[in-house]
Amino acid sequence: MTRIDLHCHSTASDGTLTPAELVRAGAAAGLDVMAITDHDTTGGWAEAAAARPEGMRLVRGAELSCRWHGPRWPIALHLLAYLFDPAEPRLAADLGRLRDDREHRAEQIVDLLRADGVPITWAEVHDYAAGGSVGRPHIAQALIRAGLVRTTDEAFHSGWLGGRYFVPKSDLDVFEGVRAVLGAGGVPVFAHPRATRRGPVVPDRLIEELADAGLFGLEVDHEDHSPAERAEIRALAGRLGLVVTGSSDFHGTHKTVELGAFGTQPAAYEKIVAAASGVPVLG
């Protein structure tokens, strides 16, 4: 059976494996198809492509930081963008702005921590990013090194990066995100749309509006979805004619989930490939 994992992160954003290590780990895990989907960057594409093991198909993508400005309060959400042209000016500009904002936000968080006497430095956090897009997981690594927390999950709790030292970031309007991905020949899929354990989730009516705007699929099978949440979002995808995907959302040691823990059916993968006109699958 073909094993497909369409949501994986490397050190180009907040994973712990380099892009080359990531694709080799995917092959070792028995994956036939894997996607590199770092946050707001295509910075790992070239290295992953160069290191792609023989026989593995590589889907190049990104995970866009988006926001829905709802009637009560804004809700953050993530949009998986597959096989888009990274040189398309509009999306390239959006990605650049999002990366710049992530770095500025991380600097602000480090400043807040240092003001309270936390023994970490920006240079250390920047080094953990290894040239990739700096994010809160890299600050979590510094907190772990300082002995203040034991795990990344603990660092994200309310006493640290999820509360006292939380700094909001500027995200892309989700409808603009869908339009930008489509304009670059890519395929947009809503990442973990019903993950209530992460915080507030958007209503079904928004997903219906996004489907009308060109959203192609919903990531259903994900570690942050309960069985009931998976059933709900799978049924919604069926009603709206959206493709259903599943994936690990692998981050290396930042998370306990393993590559291939959740997968996408070959028929859904083939629909994504057929809908894309930006860049081809490699392999």
Q: Where are the domains positioned within the chain?
A: 4-97+169-275, 101-155
Task: State how far Cα 223 lies from the chain centre.
Answer: 13
Instruction: Decide if pLDDT at 130 tops 90.
Output: no
pTM above 0.75, yes or no: yes
Radius of gyration over every alpha carbon of the chain, rounded to an integer in angstroms: 18
pLDDT band at 222 (very low <50, low <70, confident <90, very high): very high
- For the domain with range 4-97+169-275, which CATH number is right: 3.20.20.140, 3.30.9.10, 3.40.50.2300, 3.40.1280.10? 3.20.20.140
> What is the rounded CA–CA span in Å between residue 57 and residue 34?
7
- pLDDT of res. 197: 83
- pLDDT of res. 177: 98
Packing angle of the helix pair 89-115, 174-183 (nearest 10 deg): 140
Comparing CA positions, the residue from 17, 12, 23, 10 lying closest to residue 52 is 23
Instruction: Decide if pLDDT at 131 tops 80.
Output: no
> What is the rounded CA–CA span in Å between residue 74 and residue 68?
6
Instruction: Decide if pLDDT at 224 tops 90.
Output: yes
Within 8 A by CB and 6+ apart from 152, the residues are: 137, 140, 141, 144, 254, 255
In terms of phi and psi (left: phi > 0; alpha: psi -120 to 50; beta: otherwise), the region of 193 is: alpha
The owner of tokens 């990739």 is 132
* Domain topology for 101-155: DNA polymerase; domain 1 (1.10.150)
